[in-house]
Amino acid sequence: MENIFITGVDTDIGKTFVSVGIALLKESEGKRVGYFKPFQSGAYEKNGELIAPDLFELKKFSSIPSKYSYLFKGEVSPHLASILENVEVDINKVKYDFISFSKNKDFVVVEGAGGLYCPAIKGKLFSDIIKMLDMEIIIVTTPSLGRLNHTLMTLECAKVNNIKVKGLIINKMPQDMTLSEANFIKELKLFSDVEILGKISEIDDLTKENIINEFRSLKI
């Protein structure tokens, strides 16, 4: 079984879109795919049911099996959400859920929240969750101004914590780039030797076919 942990250099970076895209791509290749979200914040009610927003994004395009360990309403870090909702979080449940969910699957995409140093539970960051699950990561970034700094710091964070980085995905690549955006990859290669797995452009018509076609060029 293969698995990969998707993290980002910031919030609202497109981790969910990339996670969904990779899941759909692997499914199109004939693999038995799963999508696991240890902690889901920002849940909302619809027709009396509590909806996990990131998992719901996947369900728009596929019936790929998905699972979360903890679901919170607050649009904050999982740790703060658990405090606000008075939920006792057990890190061992996350590990058990992941192991049991991964059975009979060829490829599992695990999506984090925030970045590597986003608080997951009391006394634990997402970097700790990744190490507990013993997973390789893909880092999602964008070419926006200031993101080179965030990207290099995330790479350093992974190195310090002995987390293996499979590579970077540059999301939200615009058609008409500014000078800063056009120079982003050159500067990234100048300061890091981590492989760039590919670039993802913004898709106007979000269909399953269009998403898969956009992700086919990735080296994963």
Are the C-beta atoms of 18 and 112 separated by less than 8 Å?
no
Question: Is residue 60 situated within a structural domain?
Answer: yes
Instruction: Give me the torsion for CA of 117, 120, 122, 127, rounded to 10°.
Output: -40
Question: Is residue 220 situated within a structural domain?
Answer: no
Q: Which residues contact 87 (CB under 8 A, 6 or more apart)?
A: 70, 72, 81
Are the C-beta atoms of 201 and 10 separated by less than 8 Å?
no
Could you confirm whether 37 is annotated as catalytic? yes
Whole-angstrom distance, CA of residue 74 vs CA of residue 151: 27
Q: pLDDT value at position 1?
A: 64
Per-residue pLDDT of the chain (220 residues; tens, 9 = 90+): 689 999 999 888 999 999 999 999 999 999 999 999 999 988 888 887 778 888 889 999 999 999 999 989 878 888 898 999 899 899 999 999 999 999 999 999 999 988 999 999 888 999 999 999 999 999 999 998 889 999 999 999 999 999 999 999 999 988 888 888 888 999 999 999 999 999 999 888 899 999 999 999 999 8
Per the confidence metrics, is the pTM higher than 0.95?
no
Per the structure, the complete domain to which residue 89 belongs is given by 2-215
Q: Which among 15, 26, 31, 37 is annotated as catalytic?
A: 37
Question: Is residue 198 situated within a structural domain?
Answer: yes
CATH of the domain at 98: 3.40.50.300
Q: What is the number of domains present in the chain?
A: 1
Question: Is residue 36 situated within a structural domain?
Answer: yes
Question: Is residue 204 situated within a structural domain?
Answer: yes
